[in-house]
């Protein structure tokens, strides 16, 4: 009898505690990363899939190490884009890491490739540069680092699929002019330095026409060796 009374008191207390906790969380935002990164979503989409604005990139499914490097670079101002520099300025490393992990772990479907606005010849030139490079001008193929499937490699090399031509060409341009830089040796700055305007247009256009592969996940670290040193992806 006494035991039953005690048990029933215990149950009541437990229920009261749960009720209390529920009431408290009802007045609080959800304790999730999704709620914490809502500031990112107007430009990058709810799951990092990108938006209709061609200059805002897809984040979803990119390697966490790559995303983290970009967050650090925006926070310090090394990579210049004032709205991003401003948002991240006072956020600590572990939080930026958690944001990178969050978007790396999201896998919304890749968009349908957009019809290209350039000629077949330009697309063919883009394909040639992206898949074979141009040894005579010291231009490596995109696939030699970003992978045969262009899905990137863990932890630091991003995939190049699901991005619009304008974004890719803006980034290559930023590297050529030195407004986007990365850890030394800054491999992309070296590569972009060898590209002409026409090369940039062609490569960006061809990459944007690529259909989603069956598995868009970045390949594991060390799947292939990089042709040259890269500060963002120590071998």
Partner 1 sequence: MGSKLSTALLSIQLLALAALATAAQAQDKSSDIIARGEYLARAGDCTACHTAPEGRLFAGGRAMPTPFGTLYTSNITPDPDTGIGKWSADDFYKTMHSGRFPDGGLIYPAMPFASYTKVTRADSDAIFAYLRSIAPVSQKNKPHELRFPYDNRQLILGWRTLFFSEGEFKPDPKKSAEWNRGAYLVEGLGHCGMCHSPINALGGTSQSDAFKGGLIPMQNWYAPSLTSNREAGLGDWSIKDITDLLQTGVSMRGVVYGPMAEVVHNSLQYLNDEDTRAMAVYLKGIAEPSPPPPASSTLPTTESSLLISLGKTVYDKQCASCHGTQGEGKPPHWPPLANNQSIEMQSAVNPIRMVLNGGYPPGTKGNPMPYGMPPFAGLLSDNEIAAVVSYIRTAWGNRGTPVSAREANELRSAPLN
Q: Which of 1, 2, 23, 94 binds partner 1 (CB under 8 A)?
A: 94
Pick from 147, 186, 155, 188: which is nearest to 171 by CA?
Answer: 188
Based on CB atoms, which residue is closest to partner 1, 181 or 190? 181
Asked if 104 interacts with partner 1 (CB under 8 A), we say no
State the number of binding residues for partner 1 (CB under 8 A). 29
Q: What is d(CA 222, CA 158) in angstroms, rounded to the nearest whole number? A: 14
Q: Does 53 sit near partner 1 (CB under 8 A)?
A: yes
Residue number with CB closer to partner 1 (27 or 214): 27
> Would you say the C-alpha torsion 117, 120, 125, 129 has a positive or negative sign?
positive
| Out of 7, 39, 114, 124, the residue judged to bind partner 1 by CB under 8 A | 39
Binding flag, residue 37, partner 1 (CB under 8 A): yes
Place of tokens 């990363």: 33
Whole-angstrom Cα distance, residue 59 to residue 118? Answer: 26
- Please list the residues that pair with 219 across neighbouring strands: 153
- Which DSSP symbol is given to 136? G
As a whole number of angstroms, the distance between CA 37 and CA 35 comes to 6
Nearer to partner 1 (CB atom), residue 27 or residue 112: 27
Instruction: Tell me if 36 contacts partner 1 by CB under 8 A.
Output: yes
Footprint on this chain of partner 1 (rule: CB under 8 A): 27-29, 35-43, 53, 76-78, 82-83, 85-92, 94-95, 98
């Amino acid at each position: 009898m006494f035991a039953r009374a005690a048990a029933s008191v215990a149950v009541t207390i437990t229920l009261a505690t749960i009720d209390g906790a529920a009431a408290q969380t009802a007045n609080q935002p959800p304790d999730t990363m999704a709620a914490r990164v809502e500031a990112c979503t107007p430009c990058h989409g709810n799951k990092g899939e990108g938006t209709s604005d061609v200059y805002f990139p897809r984040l979803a499914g990119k390697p966490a190490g790559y995303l983290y490097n970009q967050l650090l670079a925006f926070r310090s101002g090394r990579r210049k884009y004032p709205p991003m520099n401003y948002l991240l300025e006072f956020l600590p490393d572990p939080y930026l890491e958690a944001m990178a992990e969050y978007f790396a772990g999201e896998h919304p479907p890749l968009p349908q490739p957009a019809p290209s606005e350039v000629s077949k010849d330009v697309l063919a030139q883009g394909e040639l540069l992206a898949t074979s490079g141009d040894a005579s001008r010291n231009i490596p193929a995109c696939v030699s680092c970003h992978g045969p499937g262009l899905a990137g490699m863990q932890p630091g090399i991003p995939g190049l699929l699901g991005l619009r031509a304008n974004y890719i060409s803006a980034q290559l341009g930023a590297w050529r002019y030195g407004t986007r830089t990365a850890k030394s040796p800054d491999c992309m700055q070296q590569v972009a330095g060898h590209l002409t305007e026409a090369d940039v247009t062609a490569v960006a256009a061809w990459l944007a026409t690529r259909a989603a592969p069956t598995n868009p996940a970045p390949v594991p670290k060390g799947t292939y060796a990089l042709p040259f040193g890269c500060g963002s992806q120590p071998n």
